[in-house]
A and B are shown apart, each in its own frame.
Chain A
Amino acid sequence: MKLYCLSGHPTLPCNVLKFKSTTIMLDCGLDMTSTLNFLPLPLVQSPRLSNLPGWSLKDGNAFLDKELKECSGHVFVDSVPEFCLPETELIDLSTVDVILISNYHCMMALPYITEHTGFTGTVYATEPTVQIGRLLMEELVNFIERVPKAQSASLWKNKDIQRLLPSPLKDAVEVSTWRRCYTMQEVNSALSKIQLVGYSQKIELFGAVQVTPLSSGYALGSSNWIIQSHYEKVSYVSGSSLLTTHPQPMDQASLKNSDVLILTGLTQIPTANPDGMVGEFCSNLALTVRNGGNVLVPCYPSGVIYDLLECLYQYIDSAGLSNIPFYFISPVANSSLEFSQIFAEWLCHNKQTKVYLPEPPFPHAELIQTNKLKHYPSLHGDFSSDFRQPCVVFTGHPSLRFGDVVHFMELWGKSSLNTVIFTEPDFSYLEALAPYQPLAMKCIYCPIDTRLNFIQVSKLLKEVQPLHVVCPEQYTQPPPAQSHRMDLMIDCQPPAMSYRRAEVLALPFKRRYEKIEIMPELADALVPMEIKPGISLATVSAVLHTKDNKHILQPPPRPTQPTGGKKRKRASDDIPDCKVLKPLLSGSIPVEQFVQTLEKHGFSDIKVEDTAKGHIVLLQEAETLIQIEEDSTHIICDNDEMLRVRLRDLVLKFLQKF
């Protein structure tokens, strides 16, 4: 069993598991942090951005000044943003049989894999994952396609040139494999390969393994996966949460008794407690708005935003913010808000019960109804006429490189009354802000990541007790900036196996057993013999029939009567050569009784020696040795077949035959 690790990002995993005869890709995450190296794509022409000076080498050579621009001491690529794809060279991706998706954030690289690698398999995901994943992809494509950029920079990617660049461009990995965003057509084609599944549904893969999604508690429709054969069980835990937010709670019990547990997608901010962060978010929001400033919340169109809106729903009246408009701007804002209300079966118990009242499960319905929350597909159109300040705007993209957020950063960045509050943990907020410097607006970092933290992981592992844990290498040591925090790493016994990008891991267990079915008529013919209380054995002669990874024992065909030998039999009809089998023996030989028996049968001068593995009975007179060990007995005598047979029969008296 092998694990091919195609992504180095612990929360955007992409691994391939070879298990029995199947090749299973686990998640398909897209590392978008690469876009932080690019200049933002402004929705309307930004004089500031277009007038940034070109970057030149120390020696004054300015041949890169068209591609690279400098802003407040940082250098950015002036081109369409590009993404860092999962490793495609490590394994032939056309051999991948299935792709299992655990949540909508972990499927963003799907079009690259399904459309450009010769992939012919099936993708499995839950319905909300697919629907919201589609929204995220749609938003991404929309954000990038609506501001077409004529220029495409590639010179800087040249290895010799890259070496000369300042950090972080110099250290960016595998820039040659970075790709532009996919198209909507590719998205649709990729999504058409998905087969929808429900929690606890068992899906057979070629009869060899069975895969089952389980609720992981992190997002709508997010799942962990069980991949099991009859005797082996691999759990894939990716992006799980034990907190009570909107999704169905995590199913922990089904993860028990795993041979291997692959653990990815833990919280990216282990030191920040989501509750505290939500409080911080609310306080800073209220503080800004009360002082007459605007609040900008760069966010994804689904996920934490539902919880934030719910908190604000409870908070705004008490904080005297009822008159402040809340805007949610995204090409998919409407769909996201509406989708969230229809996936009742994927929600936590509280929200499910609301549906039966019937009430919308999320309170943002009421915010919309009362006109406190308004949503728009983009800045243009209705929004411009409704826009009122001070206000709170939720919009993407959290990288601040594309989407409507770029406009608001340019618009509000100059006033210290305004605040940008970062809630998504995927991007470093300082890097995200770099191309907007110098910035007067206040910046608050309240990353809300509800995924498992290390304390929860250690409780989870104690609870489910897997034999082996496999995880990204980042989880096996404290974060570099807090090397003393031994609590910020996975602590388990045996120590977790770690992987990094482009590494192949041999998983530490051997398959020992295989399940074989036995045909009823054959089973009828068996004569079990009890060899120990409760344990019976029977010999069986049969033909092993293997098809579709299923093994069946069938009765051997009766020996056909010789028909005169006219027809030559086909080779395949050959009956296995059924010799009369020697009986199988079991039991152990009690040495003292054996010696007594020997004496009774006329052997004298018997000596017994103890050895490491058993005993040696020495018949000195007959110059014969009987070596008795746990699983074998040897009679060594000098060419006296009569004596050997006599002794053999005496030995056999102590053993059971069947």
Chain B
Amino acid sequence: MDPECSQLLPALCAVLADPRQPVADDTCLEKLLDWFKTITKAGSSLLLLQENPCLVELLCHVLKPQDLSSRVLSFSLRLAGVFAAQEDCFQYLQQGELLPRLFGEPGPLGGAAWTAPSVRSGWIQGLRSLAQHPSALHFLADCGAVDTIFSLQGDSSLFVASAAGQLLVHILGLSMQGLAEGHPSLQAGDWPVCAQKIVGHIEESLHSTAVPQITQALNVLTTTFGHCHDPWTQVLWVRLSPLVGSLLEKDPVPAAHSLVDLLLSVARSPGLSSSSCGLWETLAQTLNHLSPTQAGPLALGILKLQDCPQVLRAQAFVILLQPLACVLKATGQDPGPSDVLDSATGDSLTVDALLSSKAACVGLLCRTLAHLELLQPLPQRPCPWPQEPLLGAAVTLLQLCRGSASPASDVGRHLCALLLGCVRVQRAALDFLGTLSQETGPWKGRVGSFFMSVSGPQELVTEVFAVLLEYLRSPDSSPTVLKKAFQATFRWLLSSPKTPGCCDLEPHALLVLRELLPVLQKRLCSPCWEVRDSGLEFLTQMTRHWGGQAGFRHALLASEVPKLTEQLLRDPESYVRASAVTVMGQLSSQGLHVTPVSPEHPGGQQKSLLVELLHILSTDSEGFPRRAVMQVFTQWLRDHHADVAGDTEQFMARVLQVASQDLDWEVRAQGLELALVFLEQTLGQFHSHCPYAVTPPVAAPAGPLAQALQPLCRVRLFEFAFRALFDCDRPVAQKSCDLLLFLRAKTASSSGSLQESRSGPDVASVEAALQRWQAGDQGQPLGDLEPEVVLAVLRSVDLEGLRGALAEGSDHMEKSPQSLLQDMLATVGVLGENEADCY
């Protein structure tokens, strides 16, 4: 600890110990504790206490009967724990009997302060820090702390209860640590007393009829198996598994959630050889006993396990699929050739769970779909994957939600009534349907008609597109459902197979596209902005993928979509304008933007898209469209878009001028991105290191450096960058710093050939202006800069230093421990003054 802090510490300890001077801010105490943790980690706690006796005094002081705030008490308990984590310091504190007084019966444990949850939490955390060595274990046993921890497991504060459980796990691990190393084949009977006690308590809880107790025991075990993989954990499981198994005999199974967590934690533990300790049998048994709702997460967990018997996996998969199998059966569909789904049908429990209420039905189906969605991309997912029935089930669910399915059975009709218009199931089913499009399993590679190759037989895929179109068309689809429907449609279009050597959509997908475009047209005119926005996003995705392909281009250009999109540049909703800007940028890049002839001015020339986007950039009141314009411009510059390539300098000058005045920092940052691209392109020719670099078709300024820098000066890039260097928003300043450093590196080698400037501001006046800018006065412009001046300024400004300063957090000056201590003292001082004023 530095001397300044040592000097401040006694005063602070005095303040903390004084009940009349309450500490207003919890976070100060947290920071203080963090600081002590760093100090003790780096050095000896004992030394620290010896050098700063005020600390022990503080710990002693809080024990005196007084009206001390619970915050300080809690802090002191945690602080004592931090110190006592080192064994020598622990002994030191023990000499003064300080620890038993803090953590034992005579301490806050018995007092009124104990009612505050923060004190109980501090007590637990103190012990958690302290319990690091064998002496601590003895201490815990002697002061009866373990029993208190047991009772705290049921604490009214969830934080305290959960911390108590974790502390038990920690103590159990600690007490087994020393022994386990020497005795790999340890018998439960030989376990240390402390461990015996904890395990005994767990056993007792598992025997209990009270669900909360069982839950606590299961949670402790889950954490134990999750964190500790020593051999003794296997002994523990062998000892406890019959008890856990006996829970399954109860109806309903108590604490099913925690039980599932435990079993999965055990199964995942590398310390246990699952086959030898009957785990698989227990898992199988559990799958059978849990209700369909509870069994789902367990089934998913089992299927995610790496090494698990095939029989159990099959059973788990059947359980997972059951709700969907019921749906298929209820709607009179053949679950298909898959054995898995066939054996999943007809489970009356699942049917009951599905039909019991709308909430239950929706919950179970959504969870099932989510589980299967998680499972689908995993390498260990079941094989064969029942793609066809799953597709059928997803389509059927979507039809049921729309009322377009016509189930023949009573169960089906009941399901239909429960699911009609249910947005949650619609969203989940659309997500799932989208996931199924990525199926590359047994269907892939089959020879035959087009659709069959990827995701299923043609009829099913046709049905998928039909249901998706139905959703996209329906006036009743909610905006979120529509968004999902668009996403799923895109994924299915993506998955349609490609003819080798051709990236275009194949004929059937094109047919779908032709049906899709009128729907998209209508959605772009929707009164609901979310719908217009997701329509535009969908269009962006499609254009990005197939914008260059003849089939897509033809279909798109034949539709009204490009024209409608352009009209959305003037949409009243800023998100929609932003999306429209992105799409239009892309359409224009792909040559899909046809300048329309407006009905009002037939034959009249419309203003170009560039002008329109510049107009948005300079006038739009919202940030999103302006940011989108900057991104489009950057992309256009990169791609050498015709509108930009025509007169790049004028374009750059105009855009940088507008962007530099923008109030949105992201627009300014994007402006720097644009500047960087321009800079790279301009200097790229000057230093073309890479012999394979594609030379863009812009005028290549091959020549001396000054000549190369001229265009940058002409577009006033440097004024923009220097101004950004002192931007009040750090990301902008950082970006500008990087840009200028990059430029300096590029120009370093050839700076010798420069001449002194003849006109414009000289180096000194530029530096003076920069200093004024740094001081916050950004009003004055720099005027026309000569390359020579720029290079001189670049060399003179401490860019590295600036970058370092910017990389620091904004509070780096205030973060030192000394300032923390000063702050705390100052706050208390201020409080005192206020008090005086009152009287």
A291-B560, A292-B599, A487-B420 known; A282 vs B525 contact (CB < 8 Å): yes
With A and B bound together, what is the CA distance between A276 and B478 in angstroms?
A: 8
Query: Is B570 an interface residue, CB under 8 A from the partner?
Result: yes
Contacts of A483 in B (CB 8 A): 406
Cβ–Cβ contact A279 & B526, under 8 A: yes
Q: State which of A283, A317, A485 has its C-beta within 8 Å of the C-beta of B523.
A: A283
Cβ–Cβ contact A290 & B563, under 8 A: yes
Query: Is B521 an interface residue, CB under 8 A from the partner?
Result: yes
Which of B420, B523, B525, B563 has the most chain A CB atoms inside 10 A of its CB? B525
A residues 240-290 near B (Cβ < 8 Å) are 271-273, 276-280, 282-287, 290
Cβ–Cβ contact A283 & B522, under 8 A: yes
Cβ–Cβ contact B476 & A315, under 8 A: no
Contacts of B573 in A (CB 8 A): 318
Cβ–Cβ contact A320 & B567, under 8 A: yes
Cβ–Cβ contact B475 & A486, under 8 A: no
Q: Which residue of B lies closest to A487 (CB)?
A: B417
Cβ–Cβ contact B417 & A284, under 8 A: no
A276-B474, A484-B406, A486-B417 known; A287 vs B522 contact (CB < 8 Å): yes
B residues 463-509 near A (Cβ < 8 Å) are 474-477
A311-342, CB under 8 A of B: which get 1 and which 0?
10011011110010000000000000000000
Q: Which residue of B lies closest to A478 (CB)?
A: B413
With A and B bound together, what is the CA distance between A279 and B475 in angstroms?
A: 7
With A and B bound together, what is the CA distance between A657 and B164 in angstroms?
A: 78
Cβ–Cβ contact B407 & A484, under 8 A: yes
Query: Is B548 an interface residue, CB under 8 A from the partner?
Result: no
Query: Is B388 an interface residue, CB under 8 A from the partner?
Result: no
Query: Is A390 an interface residue, CB under 8 A from the partner?
Result: yes
A370-396, CB under 8 A of B: which get 1 and which 0?
000000000000000000001000000
Query: Is A446 an interface residue, CB under 8 A from the partner?
Result: yes
Cβ–Cβ contact B560 & A446, under 8 A: no
B residues 311-342 near A (Cβ < 8 Å) are none
Contacts of A290 in B (CB 8 A): 525, 560, 563-564, 567
With A and B bound together, what is the CA distance between A284 and B564 in angstroms?
A: 13
Cβ–Cβ contact B572 & A317, under 8 A: yes
With A and B bound together, what is the CA distance between A291 and B567 in angstroms?
A: 11
A292-B599, A487-B417 known; A273 vs B526 contact (CB < 8 Å): no
A470-502, CB under 8 A of B: which get 1 and which 0?
000000000000111111000000000000000
Query: Is B571 an interface residue, CB under 8 A from the partner?
Result: yes
B residues 361-414 near A (Cβ < 8 Å) are 403, 405-408, 412-414
Query: Is B697 an interface residue, CB under 8 A from the partner?
Result: no
Contacts of A277 in B (CB 8 A): 475
With A and B bound together, what is the CA distance between A278 and B573 in angstroms?
A: 19
A287-B560, A485-B416 known; A273 vs B525 contact (CB < 8 Å): no
Q: Which residue of A lies closest to B572 (CB)?
A: A318
Q: State which of A282, A318, A487 has its C-beta within 8 Å of the C-beta of B416.
A: A487
A276-B474, A318-B571 known; A282 vs B560 contact (CB < 8 Å): no
With A and B bound together, what is the CA distance between A315 and B572 in angstroms?
A: 10
With A and B bound together, what is the CA distance between A284 and B525 in angstroms?
A: 7
Cβ–Cβ contact A286 & B525, under 8 A: yes
Q: Which residue of A lies closest to B418 (CB)?
A: A487
CB distance from B221 to the nearest CB of A (A): 47
With A and B bound together, what is the CA distance between A487 and B523 in angstroms?
A: 29
Cβ–Cβ contact A485 & B403, under 8 A: yes
B419-459, CB under 8 A of A: which get 1 and which 0?
01000000000000000000000000000000000000000
Cβ–Cβ contact B403 & A482, under 8 A: yes
Query: Is B528 an interface residue, CB under 8 A from the partner?
Result: yes
Contact-residue size bin, chain B (C-beta under 8 Å from the other chain): 20 to 34
Contacts of A285 in B (CB 8 A): 525
With A and B bound together, what is the CA distance between A280 and B412 in angstroms?
A: 30
Query: Is B527 an interface residue, CB under 8 A from the partner?
Result: yes
Cβ–Cβ contact A279 & B416, under 8 A: no
Cβ–Cβ contact A276 & B521, under 8 A: no
Cβ–Cβ contact A486 & B413, under 8 A: yes
Cβ–Cβ contact A280 & B475, under 8 A: yes
CB distance from B298 to the nearest CB of A (A): 34
With A and B bound together, what is the CA distance between A446 and B560 in angstroms?
A: 22
CB distance from B417 to the nearest CB of A (A): 5
Cβ–Cβ contact A284 & B403, under 8 A: no
CB distance from A415 to the nearest CB of B (A): 14
With A and B bound together, what is the CA distance between A287 and B420 in angstroms?
A: 29
A320-B567, A484-B406 known; A446 vs B475 contact (CB < 8 Å): yes
Cβ–Cβ contact B526 & A283, under 8 A: yes
Cβ–Cβ contact A283 & B525, under 8 A: yes
Contacts of A317 in B (CB 8 A): 572
With A and B bound together, what is the CA distance between A285 and B525 in angstroms?
A: 9
Contacts of A271 in B (CB 8 A): 403
Contacts of B406 in A (CB 8 A): 482-484
With A and B bound together, what is the CA distance between A273 and B525 in angstroms?
A: 19
CB distance from A308 to the nearest CB of B (A): 12
Which of A292, A320, A484, A486 has the most chain B CB atoms inside 10 A of its CB? A484
B residues 513-568 near A (Cβ < 8 Å) are 521-528, 531, 560, 563-564, 567
With A and B bound together, what is the CA distance between A444 and B408 in angstroms?
A: 31
CB distance from B524 to the nearest CB of A (A): 8
Cβ–Cβ contact B475 & A272, under 8 A: yes
CB distance from A313 to the nearest CB of B (A): 12
A287-B522, A290-B567 known; A484 vs B527 contact (CB < 8 Å): no
Contacts of B600 in A (CB 8 A): 323
CB distance from B402 to the nearest CB of A (A): 9
With A and B bound together, what is the CA distance between A549 and B523 in angstroms?
A: 64
Q: Which residue of B lies closest to A390 (CB)?
A: B599
Cβ–Cβ contact A311 & B563, under 8 A: no
Contacts of B524 in A (CB 8 A): 287
CB distance from B317 to the nearest CB of A (A): 31
Contacts of B420 in A (CB 8 A): 487
With A and B bound together, what is the CA distance between A320 and B580 in angstroms?
A: 15
A437-452, CB under 8 A of B: which get 1 and which 0?
0000000001000000
A273-B475, A317-B572, A390-B599 known; A284 vs B522 contact (CB < 8 Å): yes
Contacts of A319 in B (CB 8 A): 525, 527
Which of B417, B477, B560 has the most chain A CB atoms inside 10 A of its CB? B417
Contacts of B525 in A (CB 8 A): 282-287, 290, 319
With A and B bound together, what is the CA distance between A485 and B522 in angstroms?
A: 29
Contacts of B408 in A (CB 8 A): 484
Cβ–Cβ contact B527 & A311, under 8 A: yes
Contacts of B412 in A (CB 8 A): 484
With A and B bound together, what is the CA distance between A105 and B571 in angstroms?
A: 39
Contacts of B405 in A (CB 8 A): 484
With A and B bound together, what is the CA distance between A277 and B476 in angstroms?
A: 8
With A and B bound together, what is the CA distance between A513 and B115 in angstroms?
A: 66
Contacts of A282 in B (CB 8 A): 525-527
CB distance from B612 to the nearest CB of A (A): 14
Contacts of B527 in A (CB 8 A): 278-279, 282-283, 311, 314-315, 318-319
With A and B bound together, what is the CA distance between A284 and B560 in angstroms?
A: 13
Cβ–Cβ contact A484 & B528, under 8 A: no
Contacts of A314 in B (CB 8 A): 527
CB distance from A357 to the nearest CB of B (A): 25
CB distance from A388 to the nearest CB of B (A): 11
**Could you show 29 A-B contacts with beta carbons less than 8 Å apart?**
A272-B476, A276-B474, A276-B476, A276-B477, A279-B475, A279-B528, A282-B526, A282-B527, A283-B522, A283-B526, A283-B527, A285-B525, A286-B525, A290-B525, A290-B560, A290-B563, A290-B564, A290-B567, A291-B560, A291-B563, A318-B573, A320-B570, A323-B600, A482-B406, A483-B406, A484-B407, A484-B412, A486-B414, A487-B416
**8 closest A-B pairs by CB:** A276-B475, A286-B525, A280-B475, A318-B572, A276-B476, A484-B406, A283-B525, A282-B527
Supplied contacts A271-B403, A279-B528, A287-B525, 18 more A-B pairs, CB within 8 Å? A272-B475, A279-B526, A282-B525, A283-B526, A285-B525, A287-B521, A287-B524, A287-B564, A290-B563, A290-B564, A292-B599, A317-B572, A319-B527, A446-B475, A484-B407, A484-B412, A486-B414, A487-B403
